[in-house]
Amino acid sequence: MKFLKAYTIYALVGAVCGFFAGASQGFILGMAMALAGVEPQIIPIITGITGFITGLIISFFIYRWSIRKFIIPQLQDMLSAAK
């Protein structure tokens, strides 16, 4: 139960931030590609892939943050109490 808070925060914040970062990146890249004259059938494929990758990267950094913020202090407390 101690780690449930960290997992919940990671899941919610990671999903929301990953979604918005991927969507924003996809929108900007899609607009740039449309202005550059790329075929409309190709734009959703490229922006979908790059948006997914951007969302994964953001989610990874939020995972690292949640581990550092919530899990490591709890583990350090458990180790110090065991001594």
Please choose, from the candidates 19, 24, 5, the residue with its C-alpha nearest in 3D space to the C-alpha of residue 59: 19
| Total-model pTM | 0.75
pLDDT higher for 6 or 32?
Answer: 32
Confidence of residue 10 (pLDDT cuts 50, 70, 90): confident
Could you read off the pLDDT of 14-72 as tens digits, one per residue? Answer: 889 988 998 899 999 999 999 999 999 999 999 999 998 998 899 899 889 988 888 88
Q: For the purposes of burial, counting CB atoms within 10 Å of the CB of 29, is it exposed (0-12), middle (13-18) or buried (19 or more)? A: middle
Q: Where are the domains of the chain?
A: 11-75
- Per-residue pLDDT, 1: 63
Per residue in 44-71, is it b (16+ CB within 10 Å) or e — as a string? Answer: eeebeeebeebbeebbeebbeebeeebb
**54 within 8 A of 21, measured Cβ to Cβ:** yes
Instruction: Look at residue 83 and tell me whether its pLDDT is greater than 80.
Output: no
